Structure 1
């Protein structure tokens, strides 16, 4: 099973190197790595080229203007030739060297179309300091209607499914991942599997965790839920927030 991992990046010279290293360090032998840079105007391109030096045969790299992260990810999906698509954002890390091996093993054992797992959020300044643990828990379609979703970067999805069910809706600036996950997990009736282990380590402070963008995120989430006919949509949004509360408690006491 070939796995395509996609990283979208724009002006991330300080973090992109660690992201790339975590992908290239994977022990799974059949990984295609795709890096889509949005024509960064800092030193990201130099950092990317330095990080992939000696691994060019495993990496597809493009740097050109785009209209944001979701266009970049869609571009990467269209470039991909793998059986499975996974994401590693430019501020983040794949959790351990054997993470992709574990993902593939679980997908092969279950024959699933869509796999999700657990993730941790860490401090921007100290990536060893855990702020929040996201434990995905079991999947049920009714939970999606009640605001539950897996952590987006823990998801590994068959490329055939993505081409059939649709890519990211680029009209969303923050919530295209929410829209895609609701579509796949509520509308598309996929075979879903849960891997109960950490697969990603994410820095706090990304687009969806920036307090300055919370209002935009709220509005876009409401638009997503209205689009799928979830009623009352405000309750669904509030329930989505409530699912996250135990994660902070577990991170504090575990």
Structure 2
């Protein structure tokens, strides 16, 4: 089973090697690694170039943001299953892709997610939050739940059928996509109790209080965009879930 791994980056020279190595070290084959760079000027492109022989596609050009870059990767992907591991983040261990291929081979899921370690931006070994995906319950979306996007593997046919990331959402297009696939279209979803990714805190939805607030407002808007209704209190429920993740990491 071919798995496409998409990495998006911009001016990430400090950490891009860790990310690329975590893909190269996988014991699964074939892997189609796609790297979408937003036109970096800090040496990121040169570092990516060192891995050119093992990267299927390298695109380096300006984009309209992280979700536009992710969509570029999706347009290039040809694997049966697609995963994202962005600059500065790492696939958790070298057997992740082979284990996920075996899970998909069972034929009972369109998307499979696991758990995630959210780590210190300066030291990927220091776990700050533990994001436990938990057994899938569709109605959990109503209380602000979503699976870890970077710990979720989805069949390409799902993207082909139900679309890519919305670029009119600035910070929560990943939530909207998961919600659209899982809640609205009721794809088959399964949880595996394994840590699949380590990603650094400080992503697009967590950079400041303003970003956090905007992210939660966009979560609420995502329901209306998909013809569904939910209590406005969801904008408070999601931050409370994040707070609980800090206690799990202790």
Calculate the TM-score normalised by the size of structure 1.
Answer: 0.93
Gap regions ≥5 residues in structure 1:
none
CA distance in structure 2 between the aligned counterparts of 1:60 and 1:227, rounded to whole angstroms: 33
Q: Distance in 2 between matches of 1:226 and 1:31?
A: 37
Q: How many residues are aligned here?
A: 248
**Unaligned 5+ runs, structure 2:** none
1:215 aligns with 2:245: no
Written as runs of structure 1 = structure 2, the 5 A alignment for 1:51-200 is: 52-53=51-52, 55-56=53-54, 58-200=55-197
Greater Cα shift, 209-218 or 193-202: 209-218
Aligned to 2:35: 35
- Tell me which protein shows more helix as a share of its residues: 1
Which residue is equivalent to 2:23?
Answer: 23
Q: Distance in 1 between matches of 2:21 and 2:129?
A: 23
Deviation beyond 6 Å, 4+ runs, structure 1: none
1:46 to partner: Cα distance = 0.6
**RMSD between aligned alpha carbons?**
1.4
**What is the aligned counterpart of 2:244 among 232, 243, 246?**
246
Contact 2:143 2:238 in 1 (8 A): yes
Alignment partner of 1:48 is 2:45: no
Q: 2 CA distance for matches of 1:191 and 1:218?
A: 26
Q: Please tell me whether the aligned partners of residues 4 and 32 of structure 2 are also in contact (alpha carbons under 8 angstroms).
A: yes
C-alpha distance in structure 1 between counterparts of 2:214 and 2:141, whole Å? 21
| 1:141-165 Cα distance to aligned partner (Å, 9 max, x none) | 1111232110110110000111101
User: Is the 1:4–1:33 Cα contact (8 Å) retained in structure 2?
Assistant: yes
Deviation at 1:110, TM superposition (A): 4.6
Residue 229 of structure 2 corresponds to residue 230 of structure 1: yes
Write the distance in 2 (CA, Å) between the matches of 1:247 and 1:65: 35
How far the C-alpha of 1:237 sits from its partner, in A, is 2.4
